[in-house]
């Protein structure tokens, strides 16, 4: 799934942390990074958040309930 225009990065990471299964960030090179890892959140995404928003990224959530949680966040900013 493509995620676009995330303005509340803190809330976005809270949603990721609440997911039950694995949530991966797919890089432009096709690598998959574990987005539930705090190290990934702070190191791998530091350039993405330079302007405090997420323009666009591709995520893979392995559990259907996690996909629903992410869709609800993107739809109305709620979890």
HEC per residue, 26-79: ECCCCCEEECCCHHHHHHHCCCCCCCCCEEEEEEEECCHHHHHHHHHHHHHCCC
Whole-angstrom Cα distance, residue 53 to residue 64? 26
Q: pTM for this one?
A: 0.76
Exposure string (b/e) for 51-76, b if CB count within 10 Å is 16 or more?
A: eeebeebebebeeeebbebbeebbee
Q: What is the pLDDT of residues 32-58, one digit of tens each?
A: 989 999 888 876 566 565 665 666 788
């Amino acid at each position: 799934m493509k995620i676009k225009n995330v303005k509340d990065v803190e809330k976005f990471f809270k949603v990721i942390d609440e997911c039950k299964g694995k949530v991966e960030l797919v890089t432009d090179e096709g690598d998959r990074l574990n987005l539930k890892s705090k190290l990934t959140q702070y190191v791998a995404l530091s350039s993405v958040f330079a302007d405090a928003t997420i323009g666009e990224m591709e995520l893979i959530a392995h559990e259907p309930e996690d996909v629903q949680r992410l869709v609800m966040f993107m739809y109305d900013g709620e979890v």
